[in-house]
């Protein structure tokens, strides 16, 4: 396993769930971590935890991934502080499941803005630096819903299929540049993701249903696996699902 010492990782959506676990796990392997999301208080708490637990540097940068300038600033401030961007984790996302017939058009737009445009802005902001460095690793967090569609996931799945298509394009276009890309597709993970669902029909559908879930750390381990391979190894696709009870 390669060490992550002196590497710098930017993680979007680091204020909770999978992003927070990725920050912990990469820091535990020696990476300096730049924590990005909108809730800067949560990021500051995480930064304190990480500094206390591991001998790495951290930086908190309040970021809304729907704003291109925020992503440009995120990379600029990271380079000023650490000199390089070695890992960029496009993790921020929302899953506002709803049935198409219920016409939650504002939520469709929000998912497109965060899950697709947010990832595109992350690529826009980080790729020129990685290409210039002739090294770097972009991790895109898609989903099992980027491989399958289920009732109420049509729009969410569309955004996660888009993330996977971007990852596949990046693999093909970047393999001679020194920049690696990994698409990670988690199954159900126990996080805040479902707390924001507003469609009553979806909430009714899930009522009383108990499904086996993964821990956020299970996904963080997959990220660390991908970024600690020797530099000639490009881990392009990882799917991690919970076993069913």
Ligand X SMILES: NC(=O)c1ccc[n+]([C@@H]2O[C@H](COP(=O)([O-])OP(=O)(O)OC[C@H]3O[C@@H](n4cnc5c(N)ncnc54)[C@H](OP(=O)(O)O)[C@@H]3O)[C@@H](O)[C@H]2O)c1
Output phi, psi for 59, to 5 deg: -145, 140
**Smallest distance from ligand X to CB 232, Å:** 28
**Smallest distance from ligand X to CB 3, Å:** 26
Q: State the virtual CA torsion across 119, 39, 59, 68 in degrees, nearest 10.
A: 30
Q: 86 near 136, Cβ under 8 Å?
A: yes
Given 8, 16, 152, 228, the residue binding ligand X (CB under 6 A): 16
Instruction: Return d(Cα 211, Cα 11) in angstroms, integer.
Output: 28
**Smallest distance from ligand X to CB 192, Å:** 4
Any contact of residue 157 with ligand X (CB under 6 A)? no
Any contact of residue 241 with ligand X (CB under 6 A)? no
Stretch that binds ligand X, among 63-71, 77-85, 175-183, 229-237 (CB under 6 A): 63-71
With contacts defined by CB under 6 A, how many residues of the chain interact with ligand X?
Answer: 28
Per CB under 6 A, which of residues 104..133 are in contact with ligand X?
114
Any contact of residue 17 with ligand X (CB under 6 A)? yes
Any contact of residue 97 with ligand X (CB under 6 A)? no
**Smallest distance from ligand X to CB 66, Å:** 5
Stretch that binds ligand X, among 3-11, 126-134, 172-180, 186-194 (CB under 6 A): 186-194
Place of tokens 């970024």: 227
**Smallest distance from ligand X to CB 15, Å:** 4
Stretch that binds ligand X, among 47-55, 72-80, 188-196, 229-237 (CB under 6 A): 188-196
Q: State the virtual CA torsion across 214, 220, 221, 225 in degrees, nearest 10.
A: 140
Any contact of residue 91 with ligand X (CB under 6 A)? yes
| 232 given a catalytic annotation | no
For residue 9, give the DSSP letter.
E
Instruction: Return d(Cα 14, Cα 71) in angstroms, integer.
Output: 14
Alpha helix segments (H runs only) across the chain:
17-28, 40-53, 68-82, 105-111, 118-133, 154-174, 200-206, 216-227
Any contact of residue 37 with ligand X (CB under 6 A)? yes
Instruction: Return d(Cα 221, Cα 235) in angstroms, integer.
Output: 13
Any contact of residue 181 with ligand X (CB under 6 A)? no
CA–CA distances in Å: residue 71 to residues 39, 75, 87, 221: 15, 6, 14, 25
CA angle centred on 233, ends 229 and 235, rounded to 5°: 80
The residues binding ligand X (CB under 6 A) are 12-13, 15-19, 37-39, 63-66, 91-95, 114, 141, 143, 186, 188-189, 191-193
Which residues are annotated as catalytic? 156
């Amino acid at each position: 396993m390669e060490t992550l010492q002196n590497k710098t990782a930017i993680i979007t959506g680091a204020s909770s769930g999978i992003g927070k676990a990725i920050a912990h796990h990469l820091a535990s392997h020696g990476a300096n971590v730049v924590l990005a999301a909108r809730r800067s208080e949560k990021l500051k708490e995480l930064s304190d935890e990480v500094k206390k637990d591991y001998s790495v540097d951290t930086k908190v940068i309040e970021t809304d991934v729907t704003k291109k300038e925020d992503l440009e600033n995120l990379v600029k401030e990271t380079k000023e502080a650490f000199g390089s961007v070695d890992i960029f984790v496009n993790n921020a996302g929302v899953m506002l499941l709803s049935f198409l017939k219920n016409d939650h058009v504002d939520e469709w737009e929000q998912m497109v803005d965060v899950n697709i445009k947010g990832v595109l802005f992350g690529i826009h902001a980080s790729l020129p630096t990685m290409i210039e460095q002739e090294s770097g690793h972009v991790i895109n967090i898609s989903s099992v819903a980027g491989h399958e569609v289920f009732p109420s996931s049509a729009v969410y799945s569309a955004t996660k299929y888009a993330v996977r298509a971007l990852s596949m394009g990046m693999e093909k276009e970047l393999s001679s540049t020194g920049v690696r890309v990994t698409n990670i597709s988690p199954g159900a993970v126990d996080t805040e993701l479902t707390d924001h669902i507003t469609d009553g029909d979806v909430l009714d559908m899930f009522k009383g249903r108990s499904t086996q879930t993964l821990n956020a750390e299970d996904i963080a381990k997959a990220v660390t696996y991908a970024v600690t391979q020797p530099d000639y190894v490009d881990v392009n696709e990882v799917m991690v699902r919970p076993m069913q009870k």
